[in-house]
Amino acid sequence: MQTMFVVLHRLDVAATRAVDPPGPPAAGYDDDFREPVRYDSGGLRQTSRRELAAVRVPCQIETAKFEELRQMFTGDAPSSNMVVVLHRRDLARLGLIDAATGRPTIRTNDRVSALERKTGGVARTLGDEGLFVFEVRPASFGFGPDGYDLELLYLNDRERARA
Protein backbone atom coordinates (compact mmCIF):
# COMPACT_ATOMS: atom_id res chain seq x y z
CA MET A 1 0.00 0.00 0.00
CA GLN A 2 1.37 3.37 -1.01
CA THR A 3 1.65 6.12 1.60
CA MET A 4 -0.65 9.04 0.84
CA PHE A 5 -0.49 12.61 2.07
CA VAL A 6 -3.20 15.23 2.45
CA VAL A 7 -2.27 18.83 1.70
CA LEU A 8 -3.79 20.66 4.67
CA HIS A 9 -4.42 24.43 4.77
CA ARG A 10 -5.35 25.61 8.26
CA LEU A 11 -7.57 28.68 8.60
CA ASP A 12 -5.59 31.63 10.01
CA VAL A 13 -8.25 33.28 12.15
CA ALA A 14 -6.13 36.30 13.13
CA ALA A 15 -5.14 37.12 9.53
CA THR A 16 -8.71 36.54 8.34
CA ARG A 17 -10.07 38.83 11.09
CA ALA A 18 -7.60 41.56 9.98
CA VAL A 19 -9.12 41.71 6.47
CA ASP A 20 -11.46 44.69 6.00
CA PRO A 21 -13.96 43.60 3.33
CA PRO A 22 -16.01 46.21 1.47
CA GLY A 23 -19.33 47.02 3.10
CA PRO A 24 -20.60 46.95 6.67
CA PRO A 25 -18.51 44.22 8.33
CA ALA A 26 -15.31 45.83 9.60
CA ALA A 27 -13.55 42.49 10.10
CA GLY A 28 -13.08 39.54 7.77
CA TYR A 29 -14.04 36.98 10.41
CA ASP A 30 -17.54 36.60 11.84
CA ASP A 31 -17.14 35.76 15.55
CA ASP A 32 -20.81 34.83 15.93
CA PHE A 33 -20.71 32.13 13.25
CA ARG A 34 -16.94 31.52 13.58
CA GLU A 35 -16.31 31.66 9.83
CA PRO A 36 -14.71 33.96 7.22
CA VAL A 37 -16.92 36.72 5.82
CA ARG A 38 -18.06 36.39 2.21
CA TYR A 39 -18.73 39.49 0.14
CA ASP A 40 -19.37 40.65 -3.43
CA SER A 41 -16.65 42.51 -5.29
CA GLY A 42 -16.82 43.35 -8.96
CA GLY A 43 -19.78 41.04 -9.45
CA LEU A 44 -17.89 38.06 -8.02
CA ARG A 45 -18.36 36.33 -4.67
CA GLN A 46 -15.17 36.66 -2.60
CA THR A 47 -13.99 35.43 0.79
CA SER A 48 -11.81 37.04 3.42
CA ARG A 49 -10.31 33.60 4.20
CA ARG A 50 -6.57 33.62 4.95
CA GLU A 51 -4.64 30.40 5.59
CA LEU A 52 -1.45 29.29 7.25
CA ALA A 53 1.21 27.65 5.07
CA ALA A 54 0.17 24.28 3.63
CA VAL A 55 1.30 21.14 5.48
CA ARG A 56 1.67 17.65 3.95
CA VAL A 57 0.38 15.08 6.46
CA PRO A 58 0.72 11.28 5.98
CA CYS A 59 -2.68 9.62 5.99
CA GLN A 60 -5.04 6.87 4.96
CA ILE A 61 -8.24 7.71 3.12
CA GLU A 62 -11.70 6.28 3.68
CA THR A 63 -14.37 7.32 1.23
CA ALA A 64 -17.82 7.63 2.78
CA LYS A 65 -19.29 9.01 -0.42
CA PHE A 66 -17.49 10.78 -3.20
CA GLU A 67 -19.29 13.09 -5.59
CA GLU A 68 -22.68 11.62 -4.82
CA LEU A 69 -25.38 13.40 -6.75
CA ARG A 70 -28.43 14.51 -4.78
CA GLN A 71 -31.64 15.87 -6.28
CA MET A 72 -32.73 19.22 -4.89
CA PHE A 73 -35.68 21.45 -5.70
CA THR A 74 -33.37 23.77 -7.66
CA GLY A 75 -31.59 20.93 -9.52
CA ASP A 76 -28.67 18.63 -8.84
CA ALA A 77 -26.45 19.28 -5.81
CA PRO A 78 -23.25 17.22 -5.89
CA SER A 79 -21.65 16.52 -2.51
CA SER A 80 -18.36 14.87 -1.55
CA ASN A 81 -17.53 13.34 1.82
CA MET A 82 -14.28 11.72 2.84
CA VAL A 83 -12.67 10.53 6.06
CA VAL A 84 -8.93 11.02 6.52
CA VAL A 85 -7.13 8.86 9.11
CA LEU A 86 -4.09 10.56 10.69
CA HIS A 87 -1.61 9.15 13.21
CA ARG A 88 -0.94 11.31 16.28
CA ARG A 89 2.79 10.59 16.02
CA ASP A 90 2.83 12.28 12.58
CA LEU A 91 0.75 15.19 13.86
CA ALA A 92 3.15 15.71 16.79
CA ARG A 93 6.18 15.57 14.47
CA LEU A 94 4.60 18.26 12.26
CA GLY A 95 3.68 20.50 15.24
CA LEU A 96 -0.06 19.90 14.82
CA ILE A 97 -0.71 18.82 18.44
CA ASP A 98 -1.31 21.53 21.05
CA ALA A 99 1.25 20.96 23.83
CA ALA A 100 -1.06 22.24 26.58
CA THR A 101 -4.21 20.29 25.69
CA GLY A 102 -2.86 17.36 23.68
CA ARG A 103 -5.52 18.02 21.04
CA PRO A 104 -4.87 18.49 17.33
CA THR A 105 -4.64 22.08 16.08
CA ILE A 106 -6.70 21.06 13.04
CA ARG A 107 -10.13 22.67 13.30
CA THR A 108 -13.48 22.90 11.55
CA ASN A 109 -13.18 24.79 8.23
CA ASP A 110 -9.53 23.91 7.70
CA ARG A 111 -9.15 22.86 4.06
CA VAL A 112 -7.63 19.86 2.26
CA SER A 113 -6.69 20.78 -1.31
CA ALA A 114 -5.17 17.56 -2.67
CA LEU A 115 -4.08 14.00 -2.07
CA GLU A 116 -0.42 13.38 -2.89
CA ARG A 117 1.81 10.35 -3.28
CA LYS A 118 4.86 9.91 -1.05
CA THR A 119 7.04 11.09 -3.94
CA GLY A 120 5.11 14.38 -4.05
CA GLY A 121 3.09 13.79 -7.18
CA VAL A 122 -0.56 14.77 -6.95
CA ALA A 123 -2.79 11.69 -6.83
CA ARG A 124 -6.01 13.72 -6.89
CA THR A 125 -7.02 17.34 -6.62
CA LEU A 126 -10.19 17.90 -4.66
CA GLY A 127 -12.19 20.40 -6.69
CA ASP A 128 -11.75 24.16 -6.99
CA GLU A 129 -11.65 24.87 -3.26
CA GLY A 130 -10.86 21.40 -1.92
CA LEU A 131 -12.71 19.70 0.92
CA PHE A 132 -13.29 21.28 4.34
CA VAL A 133 -12.91 19.70 7.77
CA PHE A 134 -16.24 19.58 9.59
CA GLU A 135 -15.22 17.31 12.48
CA VAL A 136 -12.03 16.02 14.13
CA ARG A 137 -12.56 12.86 16.20
CA PRO A 138 -10.14 10.61 18.15
CA ALA A 139 -10.02 6.90 17.25
CA SER A 140 -8.42 3.54 18.22
CA PHE A 141 -8.87 3.88 21.98
CA GLY A 142 -6.58 1.72 24.11
CA PHE A 143 -3.52 2.32 21.93
CA GLY A 144 -0.78 4.94 22.01
CA PRO A 145 0.66 6.99 24.89
CA ASP A 146 -2.41 9.28 24.99
CA GLY A 147 -4.86 6.37 25.16
CA TYR A 148 -5.52 6.50 21.43
CA ASP A 149 -3.26 6.97 18.46
CA LEU A 150 -5.43 8.04 15.52
CA GLU A 151 -7.39 11.15 14.61
CA LEU A 152 -10.20 11.09 12.05
CA LEU A 153 -10.86 14.15 9.89
CA TYR A 154 -14.34 14.23 8.39
CA LEU A 155 -14.32 16.28 5.20
CA ASN A 156 -17.11 17.82 3.14
CA ASP A 157 -17.12 20.01 0.05
CA ARG A 158 -18.68 22.98 1.85
CA GLU A 159 -17.45 25.18 4.68
CA ARG A 160 -19.57 24.98 7.81
CA ALA A 161 -21.07 27.84 9.75
CA ARG A 162 -20.75 27.04 13.46
CA ALA A 163 -23.25 28.82 15.63
The pTM of this model reads 0.80
Q: What is the pLDDT of residue 12?
A: 95
Angle at 8 between CA 87 and CA 131, to 5 degrees: 105
Q: Which residues pair with 4 in a beta bridge?
A: 59, 117
**Residue 139 vs residues 40, 46, 87, 136, 142: alpha-carbon distances, Å:** 41, 36, 10, 10, 9
pLDDT of residue 125: 80
pLDDT in tens, the chain (163 residues): 457 999 999 999 999 999 988 888 889 998 888 889 888 888 888 889 999 999 999 999 886 554 454 545 555 444 557 889 999 999 999 999 999 999 999 998 899 999 998 887 888 888 778 899 989 999 887 776 777 799 999 988 877 655 4
pLDDT of residue 76: 46
Cβ contacts of 49 within 8 Å, gap of 6 or more: 11, 16, 28, 36
Which domains, and CATH codes, for the chain? 4-12+50-156 (2.40.10), 15-47 (no CATH)
- The whole-number pLDDT of residue 144 equals 66
